[in-house]
Every structure is written in structure tokens, then in C-alpha cells.
A and B are shown apart, each in its own frame.
Chain A
Amino acid sequence: MSTVAYITARGLFGRRRVLLLLPLPALLITLALICRSYDIDPQQWGQPVIVGLGLAVVLPVISLIIGTGVLGSEVDDGTIVHILTKPLPRRDIILAKLLVAVGVSAVASAVPLFVVGVLADSTRLGLALAAGAAAGACAYSALFLLLSLLTRRPVLLGLVYILVWEGLLGRFVSGTRVLSIEQYVIAIADRIAPTTMLTGRVSLPVAIVMALIFAVGGTLYAINRLGSFSIAGETS
């Protein structure tokens, strides 16, 4: 399992794709710093920066880049064959890749969110956002890793989920929030550090249970799918 994680991490950081992780957190922190340096009331900029950019864009997009990258890129270029032709339980392969995805996504999103939380309000809000981001990274990573086994266009489908389901439908159709990881993250962070900047729209139990369903269900389904992994039939 550690070898699979090692190869996955080397592959992830050896690709240019990883550079995509830098601009979004940098933008998030820069915006917060600008607002703070101009002494703008955090009540005015807190919600749009933390929720509108941090939780609606930075966390899911980073998780998407990493979650689809840890397995999807190997499926795309065919190198996954070298890992699959080993007597490893498919569970170990998925868990190793998920571990890398969750770890990198959590660090890359929780750290800037923590900084922004501290700048906007307090260390407690920073920690709440970091905890919410870590929980969100688990659910998002499992979902996007699964997508890379279900479709050849996981990034596109992931963007549809982030932009259309969570971003658009989540605002206007209240029922869709039950299946929105962003709402679970807000609910968890809001519970740890209640503030007017965060408004949880699903209850904490729903948020925790649904996040677990996404994370565990997605992982189990991905393990099952990897067990039946077929090489596309290019006969010659």
C-alpha cells in the first residue's frame, strides 16, 4: 500500500497539473489580506470570500484536481496496468490513492482557509474552516476518485457537480442541498465556530451522516469498480 501511495504522490507532484493548486489558495489569501489591510469590515467581505470563493470554489476545485489526478491520469495513460497486475487487494490500491488525495487536498485547502478564517474573525473560525475543509476533502476526494473510474471525463462531470449542482441548483432548489458537500462543510464549520458569516442550511447530523455516506460509499463503490477494471478493447 505504501508503494502505491509513493508512486501516486510522485506522479501527482511530478505533473504540471499540481501547479494548478497554487493560484486559488493564493487568490483566497490575497483577497483576505487586501480586505484586512484596508480595514474593511469582515462582515462585508467574510461571506463572499470564505463561502463564495473558499468553500464553493477553492476546496472543491482543489479536491477535483487531486481526486481525479491520483487515479484518473493513470487510467488515461495506461500506467494503472502496472499497479493492477500485482497481487494487491483492490481495497489497498483505492485506500492508498484516497489517502494521498485526501491528504494533499486537505492541506492545500485547509491551510489557506485557516489563514482566511483568522484574518476574518478568529483562530477558532480558522480552525473550524480547516476542520470543515478536511471533512469536505474526504467526501469530495472519494466522489471524484470514483468518478475517474466511472467515466472517461471525470473532470467535466466533477465541474458539473461543483458548478451546476452545488453552485446553481444549491442556491435555488433547497432539496439539492442534502446532496451538496459544500453545505456539509458549512454546517460543520458553523457548528464549531458559530458566526454570521457562515449559515448552515443542513443540520449537523445530516451533514455528518451524508459526508460519511459520500466518503465511505464512494470508497466502497470505487473498490468494487476497480476490481472489475477492464482495458478498453483495442484489438489488434
Chain B
Amino acid sequence: MSTTSDLVSPAAPTEGNTVSMVELQNVSRWYGNVVAVNDITMTLRPGVTGLLGPNGAGKTTVLHMMAGFLSPSRGTVTIDGRPTWRHPGIYRDLGLVAEREAVHGFLTAREFVLACARMQKLPDPVAATARALALVEMTDAQDRRIDTFSKGMRQRTRVAAALVHEPRVLLLDEPFNGMDPRQRMHMMELLHTLGERGHTILFSSHILEEVEQLSGLVQVIVAGRLAASGDYRRIRRLMTNRPHVFAVQSSDDRRLAVALIGEKSVSGVEIEATGLTVRASDYGSFTRALPRIALEEGIRLRRLLPSDESLESVFSYLLEA
């Protein structure tokens, strides 16, 4: 069986390997008196970016504006400088997997993806259809009507339809909904590969684990505002008002704790059965000081793990802020 990389390899991204940027400039969107999105500025570059936010934060509104299905009340949304609103031409470079699962159920998977390829006016729609269906591992079921599919199969068919023209920008709203763990892994691998090959991919998800596995880059939206943007590990390190928590194991935990408490960047040390839990006020100073202290004390460090650098903790800190 061919690997995901093999299958993606022909022409990705299309049209002379140019890359695409999605830009939101001071974008707001309101419905009557309700502000759904408030003055967001962000730039998406090639690679995989996760769009995070609690329910009702405005993620779907942002995705819909990027996809040209909502006009911003204020500001501009562009793909390579072209506004997305009222410009159907952008769909040559844009693929969308919307959250709503509706598909033309009376068609087979092959008919559906082929229709999408034809509407994209691809030079060889049949070959493009076969390639897209193979990418999402739907070749075996391609001649079954979509309304007989499970949720995960429908989702994969929709992804195939969105990928059939090998768009440079791919927007996915909750793409892993309904997929079993193996399909999820495959989809993650696929998105990874596309991202590495220069496609600009944005996916929203409420499952932090998925975002963590798939992408270090996140755009976090909270209450309609962009709360953070960039690599979540860097975002965490910039949160200087929250002590960084490290799990440390050494050859002599008690002696190391005594030495560490005298260090300026350390705000607390707890001795536990499994090792030390160290709270540091300054990430950089602590990580530089620790090896020096260990060396001076003649203590061997066995394990050093930032224990609150997960996306989950970053996300919860941002929500609390």
C-alpha cells in the first residue's frame, strides 16, 4: 500500500509551488448587538495551525469569514491579497470542510468527488477523484451511496472532495468528528504531510489533544478576541506571571531541593515520592541555573520535564486570564 507521502507527492501545492497566506486585518463581525468576533488580526502561513477556543468563542465565524461565507462587519479577510467575500475565484486555491455534515447522500462517494473535480474544472477529473479518494482511504467504498456511510466515512468523503483540486489553503472545521482512532491518525498524518509540503492548513477543534498532536501553532480565540497566537510552548513561556512547573528527578532530591530554594528564579519546591516539583518564576533563568547547581552539588539529574507546558494548561491559563 502506498504511503500518505507517496499519494500526496504529485503537485502539492499546485501552481508552481507558490505558497498562500490567509490574512485577517482588524476583523470584527457582529450580529445585531452581539459581537461574535472582535478586532482580530492574524496571519496564517504554510503549515498546520490549530484554531482553538471554547464553545461560542467565534471559531466557526472566523472560519466562515476565511472561507468567504460571511462578510466581515469591519476589517478585511484576504487570501494572497484577494478578499474572500464575493470572490468565487478563491475556491481554486481554497478547500473547505465545514462542520455541518451535509453531503449529497443520493450520490456515491466517487460521483460526489468527481462532481467536485468537474466543478473545479480540473484537466483530468477522473484521475484527481481516484487520487483524492485514495488519500482518505475510501477507494473500497467509493461506489456506495453516501447516505449508507458511517459518520467517519462521510467525513473522509468530504475531506476528499475538499482536497480533490489540491488547494493551497485548506480550512477544516472539527475535521476529526466521527472518525475512529485509526482514521484519526491517518488524517493527522495526511494533514501533517500537506502542511510540510507548503499547504496552509487551519483546523478548528475542541479536543486539545488533537491540536497538540497535530500542530504546535495555535490561534486561540476567547470571547471573540484573539487571546494568543503562535507556538503554544512559546506562548506558555511568555506567561511570566504564572510560575512554570517542572518535574525533576535526581540522584539526591532532598539536597537538590535545598540548593534550588536558594536560587532566585525558583519560587517553590515540593519533595514528593517520585521526585521534586519545582515552581520557577523565570523559565530561562531556571533552566540555565539548574545544571549549574547540579554540577556544583555533584548531583546527577535524571529527569527534567516541564509539567505545565501542555496545550491544555496553556489553554486553561488563557481562559482564566
Interface of A with B (CB < 8 Å)?
3-4, 6-7, 10-11, 14, 77-79, 81-90, 227-231, 233-236
Contacts and interface: CB of A to CB of B under 8 A. Distances in A.
Q: Which 9 A-B pairs have the closest CB atoms?
A: A78-B102, A14-B106, A86-B119, A78-B100, A231-B69, A3-B118, A87-B91, A79-B102, A87-B92
A3 B71 CA distance: 28
A227 B161 CA distance: 22
Contacts of A6: 115
Interface of B: 29, 31, 36, 55-61, 64, 67, 69-71, 86, 88-92, 94-96, 98-100, 102-104, 106-107, 112, 115-116, 118-121, 161-162, 174, 206
B64 A86 contact: no
15 contacts: A7-B107, A10-B107, A78-B100, A78-B102, A79-B103, A81-B96, A82-B161, A84-B88, A85-B95, A87-B89, A87-B121, A88-B88, A89-B88, A235-B58, A236-B174
A227 B106 CA distance: 26
A86 B91 contact: yes
Nearest to A231: B69
A81 to B, nearest CB: 5
Nearest to A80: B102
Given A3-B119, A84-B69, 15 more contacts: A7-B104, A7-B107, A7-B115, A79-B102, A82-B112, A85-B67, A85-B96, A86-B88, A86-B116, A86-B119, A230-B71, A231-B98, A233-B60, A235-B61, A236-B206
Contacts of A81: 69, 96, 98, 100, 102
A87 B88 contact: yes
Nearest to A90: B88
Contacts of B89: 87
A85 B91 contact: yes
Interface of A is mostly: loop
Contacts of A7: 104, 107, 115
Contact of B106 (A11, A89, A235): A11
A77 B105 CA distance: 11
Contacts of B107: 7, 10
B31 A236 contact: no
A90 B119 CA distance: 12
Nearest to A229: B69
B106 A231 contact: no
Nearest to B61: A235
A78 B88 contact: no
Nearest to B120: A86
Contact of B70 (A88, A89, A230): A230
Contacts of A86: 88, 91, 116, 119-120
Q: Pick the most buried of A4, A230, A234, A236: most chain B CB atoms within 10 A of its CB.
A: A236
Contacts of B98: 78, 81, 231
Contacts of A234: 60
Contacts of B102: 77-79, 81
Nearest to B86: A227
A233 B61 contact: yes
Nearest to A13: B106
A231 B112 CA distance: 21
Nearest to B224: A235
Contacts of B60: 233-236
Nearest to A2: B118
B162 to A, nearest CB: 8
A186 B68 CA distance: 44
Nearest to B95: A85
A231 B100 CA distance: 11
Contact of B56 (A11, A78, A235): A235
Contacts of B64: 230-231, 233
Contacts of A231: 64, 69-70, 98
Q: Pick the most buried of A4, A10, A82, A227: most chain B CB atoms within 10 A of its CB.
A: A82
B183 to A, nearest CB: 21
A82 B92 CA distance: 13
Contacts of A84: 69, 88
A4 B36 contact: no
B69 A230 contact: yes
A236 B91 contact: no
A87 B59 contact: no
Contacts of A228: 71, 86
Contacts of B206: 236
A76 to B, nearest CB: 9
Contacts of B69: 81, 84, 229-231
A7 B71 CA distance: 28
A232 B38 CA distance: 18
Contacts of B29: 233
A70 to B, nearest CB: 13
A85 B173 CA distance: 14
A88 B121 CA distance: 9
Given A3-B119, A86-B88, A228-B71, A233 B31 contact: yes
